[in-house]
Amino acid sequence: MHFFKSNLLIVFLCASTFMFAQAPPKPYGALPSARQLAWHEVEVYGLVHFTPTTFENKEWGYGDADPKIFNPLQFDANKIVAALKAGGLKGMVLVAKHHDGFALWPTKTAAYNISKSPFRDGKGDMVKEFEQACRKAGLKFGVYCSPWDRNNSAYGTQEYVNVYRRQLTELYSNYGELFMSWHDGANGGDGYYGGERSTKKIDRATYYGWDTTWAITRKLQPMANIFSDIGWDVRWVGNESGFAGETSWATFTPVPAVGMNAAIPGNLNHEVNPFGTRGGKNWVPAECDVALRPGWFYHPEQKGKSKTPEQLFQLYLKSVGRGAALDLGIAPDTRGLLDDEDVQSLEGFGRLVEESFKNNLVQGAALRVSNARGKIYKGLNVLDKERETYWATDDGVNTAEIVLTWNADQTFDLIRMREYIRLGQRIDQVEVEAMLNGNWSKVAAATSIGACRIIQLAAPLKTKQLRVRFSAPVSIALSELGVYKKAAL
Ligand code: FUL
Ligand code: CA
């Protein structure tokens, strides 16, 4: 009887320990929403600028261009999207309206739109053509509708804010699910404004009534990530050069809007945005925007100045590889096509990324973890290319290591890690050591990981053993670990 009882107790204890050990770690800090989780998987997308401004060879249209100049005779959204796809881009944000105010769709809200142009005999809808080309190619689609409108006579009044909201409502209603609603922060002041040709100043902090506007976004497009330089779902990184800070947290505590006043030009959070805020209030990862050519719009005199595949790869490491996204400016020319050199750059970049991350050398290694939270959260989960499975440590085990051992020497220069971000940004330090001449030698270190961290070693490393040590204020939860050799193209 006694024996039976104690046996039962042991069975009970084992079962409960087993069940207890299998519970996932508790989330830590700010967490990503469903829309942000989806956004994190896009990683690289395009930002397409193509309006009458292209035909004027300008960067900022004044709002007075004759719509008749918008006549791209060879326009083919499928060809442009195919080039993006070859570049490995998984989404496109179309500038549906830039500062010049010209709408690429036949909006009912303003006369200055594509129906006044010769494009498709005034019956065209370029937003639709791009949207459909993206859907067909499997790219996500989003829109950028500039709040600053240098054509609209009502700009500066509440009437215009209502027009802007109706424009967004049209874009949110007729083009399927959008992954981004992109709102830039430029406000130069002067413009055509229906012939007034004046300078209109607005208070950036209050004029647009963003809370009301973005409530419309949430209602009509719950999966659209709102990008803005004041941060919402996705924050501007603070430069237009395409890179995030070496340390870049996805968590962020926004600075009060008063600091964003037009009276303080350039106060766009430059100090804070590249780095985020460790332990910040909200999950607001960074987007790094940069144009493939020197300008956001196409300029014939910038021929030969497209970024090379190697330059794009380096930006990729400094954006995607720092937990942010790379938003690459794409500029069709007046034919309505991409310049061949852009097509080639994109293709080369796509190949470089694809080939470099194809062969994860960790697959061939024996993997040992210093601690694992039972079988469900075992070390091998970092190898299955699945973001949803992860290795986790027991509660209270806040430092842990993964040791990789190969039978023969391996040569590599890229190390990629992903945290299981559904449980927050946990890790704040990682150190990489290699066994060199019988000793562990430190070869790299990093701080923030988040959705992705790619460490590029200064030179290719040859070793049979690698040790990666993590530390966090809570238990570790890691989705992926990969070791790669950058491809030579
Ligand atoms: C900025 C704009 O002023 C530029 O023209 C461009 O559209 C860039 C992506 O955003 O705010
Ligand atoms: Ca995994």
The CA distances from residue 339 to 58, 164, 334, 389, 468, in Å, are 17, 32, 10, 42, 44
Interval between CA 263 and ligand 1 midpoint (Å): 19
Contact 77, 122 (CB under 8 A): no
63, part of any domain: yes
pLDDT confidence tier of residue 239, bands split at 50, 70 and 90: confident
Query: How big is the CA angle at 168 (ends 102 and 224), to the nearest 5 degrees?
Result: 120
Interval between CA 130 and ligand 1 midpoint (Å): 20
474, part of any domain: yes
| Whether residue 377 is found in the same domain as residue 270 | no
Q: Which of 184, 227, 268, 330 to mutate to test the pocket of ligand 1 (most atoms within 8 A of CB)?
A: 184
| Whether residue 341 is found in the same domain as residue 402 | no
330, part of any domain: yes
**Ligand 1 proximity of 229 Cβ (cutoff 6 Å):** no
Here the CATH number for the domain that contains residue 472 is: 2.60.120.260
Interval between CA 367 and ligand 2 midpoint (Å): 14
* Domain finish residue from 356, 372, 404: 356
| Whether residue 351 is found in the same domain as residue 462 | no
The pTM of the full predicted model, rounded to 2 decimals, is 0.93
What's the confidence (pLDDT) of residue 21? Answer: 52
Interval between CA 44 and ligand 2 midpoint (Å): 21
| Whether residue 163 is found in the same domain as residue 146 | yes
For ligand 1, atom 6, the nearest C-alpha belongs to 296
- pLDDT tens for residues 167-219? 999 999 999 999 999 999 878 799 999 999 999 999 988 999 999 999 999 99
| Whether residue 342 is found in the same domain as residue 372 | no
- Cα-Cα-Cα-Cα torsion 478, 479, 483, 485, nearest 10 degrees, comes to -140
Among the atoms of ligand 1, which is closest to the Cα of residue 95? 7
**Ligand 1 proximity of 148 Cβ (cutoff 6 Å):** no
Beta strand pairing status for 190-191 and 366-369? Answer: unpaired
pLDDT confidence tier of residue 69, bands split at 50, 70 and 90: very high
| Whether residue 69 is found in the same domain as residue 134 | yes
**Ligand 1 proximity of 100 Cβ (cutoff 6 Å):** no
Contact 227, 180 (CB under 8 A): yes
Contact 179, 223 (CB under 8 A): yes
Contact 203, 254 (CB under 8 A): no
Quick one: which ligand is closest to 328's CA?
1
Quick one: which ligand is closest to 477's CA?
2
Distance between CA atoms of 436 and 433, rounded to whole angstroms? 9
| Whether residue 342 is found in the same domain as residue 306 | yes
Distance between CA atoms of 32 and 27, rounded to whole angstroms? 11
Quick one: which ligand is closest to 478's CA?
2
- pLDDT tens for residues 16-56? 444 555 899 999 999 999 999 999 999 999 999 999 999 99
Q: Which of 240, 297, 327 to mutate to test the pocket of ligand 1 (most atoms within 8 A of CB)?
A: 240
8 CB neighbour count, 10 Å cutoff: 10
Interval between CA 228 and ligand 1 midpoint (Å): 11
Query: What does R_g of the chain's alpha carbons equal in angstroms?
Result: 25
pLDDT confidence tier of residue 268, bands split at 50, 70 and 90: very low
The CA distances from residue 178 to 134, 153, 157, 208, 285, in Å, are 11, 29, 28, 21, 18
Answer whether residue 440 shows pLDDT above 90.
yes
What's the confidence (pLDDT) of residue 127? Answer: 99
Give residue 365's domain range.
361-484
Among the atoms of ligand 1, which is closest to the Cα of residue 184? 11
**Ligand 1 proximity of 233 Cβ (cutoff 6 Å):** no
| Whether residue 336 is found in the same domain as residue 386 | no
Q: Give the CB-side neighbour count of residue 479, counting CA atoms within 13 A.
A: 19
Q: Which of 148, 149, 183, 296 to mutate to test the pocket of ligand 1 (most atoms within 8 A of CB)?
A: 296
Interval between CA 132 and ligand 1 midpoint (Å): 24
28, part of any domain: no
Here the CATH number for the domain that contains residue 260 is: 3.20.20.80
What's the confidence (pLDDT) of residue 40? Answer: 98
**pLDDT more than 70, % of the chain:** 91
14, part of any domain: no
**Ligand 1 proximity of 296 Cβ (cutoff 6 Å):** yes
| Whether residue 116 is found in the same domain as residue 81 | yes
Quick one: average pLDDT of 410-421? Answer: 98
What's the confidence (pLDDT) of residue 175? Answer: 98
Contact 411, 284 (CB under 8 A): no
106, part of any domain: yes
Interval between CA 240 and ligand 1 midpoint (Å): 9
- pLDDT tens for residues 143-153? 999 999 999 99
**CA 349 to chain CA mean position, Å:** 17
Among the atoms of ligand 1, which is closest to the Cα of residue 296? 6
135, part of any domain: yes
**CA 467 to chain CA mean position, Å:** 29
8, part of any domain: no
Quick one: which ligand is closest to 419's CA?
2
* Domain finish residue from 335, 356, 377: 356
| Whether residue 385 is found in the same domain as residue 452 | yes
| Whether residue 345 is found in the same domain as residue 392 | no
Quick one: which ligand is closest to 378's CA?
2
| Whether residue 105 is found in the same domain as residue 177 | yes
Contact 447, 471 (CB under 8 A): no
Interval between CA 54 and ligand 1 midpoint (Å): 14
- pLDDT tens for residues 314-328? 999 999 999 999 999
| Among the listed residues 132, 100, 112, 133, the one whose alpha carbon sits nearest the alpha carbon of residue 296 | 100
* Domain finish residue from 309, 340, 356: 356
Report the number of distinct structural domains present in the chain.
Answer: 2
**Ligand 1 proximity of 188 Cβ (cutoff 6 Å):** no
For ligand 1, atom 3, the nearest C-alpha belongs to 186
